[in-house]
Structures are given as C-alpha cells and as structure tokens.
Amino acid sequence: MTDDDRLFLVTGATGKTGGGTIKLLLQHGHRARAMVHREDERSRALADAGAEIVVADLHDLDGVTT
C-alpha cells in the first residue's frame, strides 16, 4: 500500500483497457474509482477488488457533476 492518497477515476472501467487500468492501480495500492454505466457482475467484481464504483454516463452532464 502506498501513502499516496490521490484518487484515480477510470472511465469505461468495465472494458478491456479500463478494467486493466483499475486492476493495475489497485495492485499498486492506489485508490481507484471505477465509472461504469450500470451495476452488473463486472462492476461488482471491481468493487470486490477494492475499487469505488460510480454509475454515470459522460453524456449526462447533470449525472457527472453531482
């Protein structure tokens, strides 16, 4: 675990690139927030691995500013 308290947001976190990025961040002890379109088995697996989950859509301005 690192003493770095920065929080990394990864969009598309249930996809191939985003999912790999989240896993790498968590393996290195970083805080990671996974932005997903919906709660499903993929997002639950990320949560189980230690990621914070936020359900949002970048096309929804109100949804990403709250």
Give all domains of the chain, ordered by start, each with its CATH number: 7-59 (3.40.50.720)
Closest CA to 56 of 9, 8, 7: 9
Q: What pLDDT is stored for residue 2 in this prediction? A: 52
Q: What is the mean pLDDT of the chain?
A: 90
Cα–Cα dist 6/33, whole Å: 11
Q: pLDDT of 16-40, one tens digit each? A: 999 999 999 999 999 999 999 999 9
Mean pLDDT value of segment 4-22:
92
Instruction: Decide if pLDDT at 66 tops 70.
Output: no
Mean pLDDT value of segment 47-63:
89
Task: Name the 3-class secondary structure at 53.
Answer: strand
pTM: 0.81
